Structure 1
């Protein structure tokens, strides 16, 4: 269904058809930080949750307050196991008759299986994987709001994260939301897959610079955004992953709530996510030490214009930003990153 889109993108794609590069990685990174870049997030998952009990159900299955959200609002939330291990980080958009979940690449089928286990006979909840029927694009960078205004959605400017609205442009009905998967000041656009090619052309005509997965991955690590398979696994919980902003600590019971509450109450977060820079490559999983004692491990690494950048979990008792550590044979220091939060959000 995305053949028309891929034909006009002229990108180098992987076996799954995901655009890896538009042969402009440096320009895309510069645009995402200085003007506006356009990231094709269509390979991320989208789940439509509908029927009368949808808000109560999702409220009880994830970390944020969904029950009290109104149509037009949205938020990030984490689905966790009963012991608060991360399953996925999602963005929930509240619609008039449903909730639209934007989830990580490839995670929609498995997350639906997990959620389906908790739908009982009397529950009025329906789950639908709409990943292939829709596309998602993200406008990244300080000039993103200029394009949003040009599209006719100026009412979204300066609105809270997750605020969204449906608009029509050139016979295309699209949903624009405040915030992206890297930056709260970016914008997410969701549309029907049949409109993918003309919508992409419209956005690039307005000046957005295409950004492939390779450049996006560098931006992700610079921001500190955790991802499934790296920082979000059954070995870590949302507090360790720096996702405090996705958690409501006074919403009441939900799956994993007791563990999260206990960790917060007793300062029980044993490890935390930090960034690092290196002039040499290291492998994911490389042990991080201080004076020969293990204090953590590398979870992500990527080459960049100024060496190598990565993410790592470090024992809380060892320290944090500015801490000198050894990664393999490399000496470096830990850095805090913009995406991560480490305390309750007001």
Structure 2
């Protein structure tokens, strides 16, 4: 296959709604999800505060929010410490791979408190935090409309307190602030144990075994693109898949969901696990045409002109010297 195959494989629609791994935690303070809500548009009306640090207990759904003026490490550490003092440091914390959570200062804080930092690198990211950001923004928007203002800094903690006092259906109609040791077992059962009928019978037959064997769409060694982290409302004509191509190194089932591990063309492992719907098979050989983004440098070697080139959409580590006569004009559309 040549470069023409890229036109479809980069643009084809990415599947959005698929079964994902369910996060199961032991109880309160086991795992927090964290993210930043960007409210920089309203910073002038809010004493220069641009962001809200959102931290939510995955089990109790209890929420903490700290306003921030910058994403820098020192400010992040101060706000995280304040949250941990009000609640308690978790066993684990899950965030995206943004520098606000992976910088030296924050990493040292997590290490000093013996907190395992899980960096979500796929489309799901810190989904409890992302979900509650939408809820808090909706409540702020209603406040803005009712009071004809965009100033939230004086009321944000009241909004958070209101959220924590609101009963959650998933918590058996208990509010996050009311989750405690005495009701934890019942809530855990409601969250993670599916009710079963005494008369139900689990049947495992040859047909079901055959179906299970068909769970994996991709084989080890297949070349794939990875879905871009996009919002559900991203437009279909934007590029949906990575220009860089990866290879499947391993595959396994997690909670009966097919998962994959990838390596790049240098056989360096890609961090994280990938769902099936986050991958798209590519029918392209390493000897095919690869589009050049930029010619970086020119030299003469062994009587031939060579160019150091950067390939379109690929990291700089793949920059390569190639002979001038191997460079072809991009086909006209």
Which of the five TM-score ranges fits, normalised by the shorter chain?
under 0.3
**Normalising by structure 2, what TM-score?**
0.24
Query: Which one has a larger percent helix, Structure 1 or Structure 2?
Result: 2
Q: Report 1 or 2 for greater relative contact order, CA contacts < 8 Å, sequence distance ≥ 6.
A: 1
**Normalising by structure 1, what TM-score?**
0.23
